[in-house]
Amino acid sequence: MEQEMRLFFALLAGAALYFAQLYLYRYFWKEGLDVSIAFGRDILREGEENELIETIVNDKALPLPVVQVKFNITRTFEFKRQDNSAVTDQYYRNDFFSLLPYRKITRIYGFKCTRRGYYTVKGLDVVCKDLFLTGMQLWSVKPEAAVCVLPGRITPDRMTRSVVELMGDIIDEIKRNEDPFEFAGIREYQRNDPMNRINWKGSARAQRMLVNKFYTTLMRRVVIFLNAECHIKWHEEVFIEEEIRLAASLAERFISEHIPVALYSNGCDIITGQPVNIDEGADALHLSNMEIKLARLDASSVKGDFALMLKEKLSDKKYDRTECIIISNYRKQDLYDAYTDIKDRGLSVHWIIPEYGMMEPRLAGMGDEHIVKWTVGNGS
């Protein structure tokens, strides 16, 4: 009888302990619990490496025997560690933690950014179990971490000859009207610089050849028109990404020569939902802003007719002394008609058509020296 009573009280104590801890975990498991996801760098360039930092803090006396943290992010991030993860339409991660009272755990995962874009962590869910691993509590956290991956740069030595010549012609045409009374700074000497441009005092201090830069008498600008719509849907993503890299690289080259650059596109900003429109500027801050806007361009969201936008923008008299560059794989008749109309009005307009090497764009004006093919793959 005594043994049965002991067994009864043991079972009673066990049941009391079970329901007590069940109550505690049901109502207090989130107290003092913090789960966060962050990135080592908020802004970086396509092809560079970054870190994802996963932190969980249990700031209370109640231990958490099993905490499951699940989240997903773009599959374009190539993680070095593939444990507890799966890659399908997204990169899905499923981590487990065991936290003693007042404990903090941080895990760092290195990854490579393979494609430009603006990325956020999605679906951050926290699952907790009690001491007996029976009860389960769920908490959906709204993550705030975001990373902006800038488009990759295409250096001049990796550009096709036709595009390099086009870029050089535009710079030469604008520089031809420099005003020697409007000093704009100094830069490193290049082989085609005249001797009278050398800044001898600055060169002596820097121990390398430097030349003076000047503003142009009639300040000319470069306007880049980026078409986020392709000629055909086949490999559309490849062409759009190459167009964006090329636009960013051309802008960087012109701004390095202190030439104002503006950029307009029918592709929409993934945050604002509005077409990417960047008015002219010629400093480092303007270039940085332009690259961020290009990183946020959502190639799947196109708004408005590109040919119509082109004609409407260039109808403004302020663009009369402008070097216009169209970057568009799309080359149907409506856009060609807009191009010829702009050219007939006397504006300086150039058209770069990204396409695979084995493909030749079929266009009535392919003999035009201002229409050039950019072979996709040269700058990838």
Q: What angle do CA 338, 174, 162 make, to 5 degrees?
A: 60
State whether 107 and 165 are in the same domain.
no
Please check the confidence at residue 373 and state whether its pLDDT lies above 80. yes
For the chain, how big is the Rg over CA atoms in Å? 30
Task: Let me know whether 259 and 356 are in one domain.
Answer: yes
- Per-residue pLDDT, averaged over 192-210, amounts to 75
Asked if 39 and 146 sit in the same domain, the reply is: yes
Angle between helices 284-295 and 236-256 (to 10 degrees): 170
pLDDT digits (tens, 9 = 90+) for 161-200: 767 677 777 776 666 555 454 555 677 777 667 777 777 7
* Maximum mean pLDDT: which of 15-24, 311-320, 365-374: 311-320
Same domain? For 283 and 347 the reply is: yes
Q: Are residues 296 and 359 in the same domain?
A: yes
What percentage of residues in the chain have a pLDDT greater than 70? 86
What is the structure's pLDDT at 120? 95
Instruction: Name the token pair of 134.
Output: 């029976």
pLDDT in tens, 276-334: 999 999 889 999 999 999 999 999 999 999 999 999 998 888 777 788 999 999 998 99
**Does some domain include residue 7?**
no
Cα 56 to Cα 107: distance, rounded to the nearest angstrom: 9
CA distance 301 to 342: 26
Are 169 and 46 within one domain? no
Mean predicted confidence (pLDDT) in 33-40: 94
β pairing state of 122-129 and 64-73: antiparallel
Instruction: Please indicate, yes or no, whether residues 244 and 370 belong to a single structural domain of this protein.
Output: yes
**Statement: residue 135 has pLDDT above 70:** yes
Which amino acid is present at 297? L
What CA–CA distance (Å, rounded) separates 279 from 195?
35
- 42-92 per-position pLDDT tens digit: 999 999 999 999 999 999 999 999 999 999 999 999 999 888 889 998 999
Strands (E) across 100-219 are located at: 103-113, 117-120, 122-129, 136-141, 146-150, 178-188, 210-216
* Whether residue 146 is found in the same domain as residue 163: no
Write out pLDDT tens, residues 219-250: 578 999 999 999 887 778 899 999 999 999 99
Answer yes or no: is pLDDT of 362 > 80.
Answer: no
The pLDDT tens digits of the residues spanning 110-126 come to 999 999 999 999 889 99
With beta carbons less than 8 A apart as the criterion, state whether 222 and 325 touch: yes
Residues 172 and 41 in one domain: no
CATH assignment of the domain containing 63: 2.60.40.10
Grouping H, G, I as helix, E, B as strand and the rest as coil, residue 318 is helix
Q: What is the pLDDT of residue 298?
A: 95
Mean pLDDT of the chain: 85
Q: Are residues 172 and 124 in the same domain?
A: no
The strand ranges marked E within 227-315 are: 261-269, 275-281, 297-302
Q: Which domain holds residue 35?
A: 31-150
Residue 14 confidence (pLDDT): 66
Q: Are residues 141 and 170 in the same domain?
A: no
Encode burial over 93-118: b for 16+ CB neighbours within 10 A, e otherwise: bebebebeeeeeeeeebebebebbbb
Query: How many domains in the chain?
Result: 2
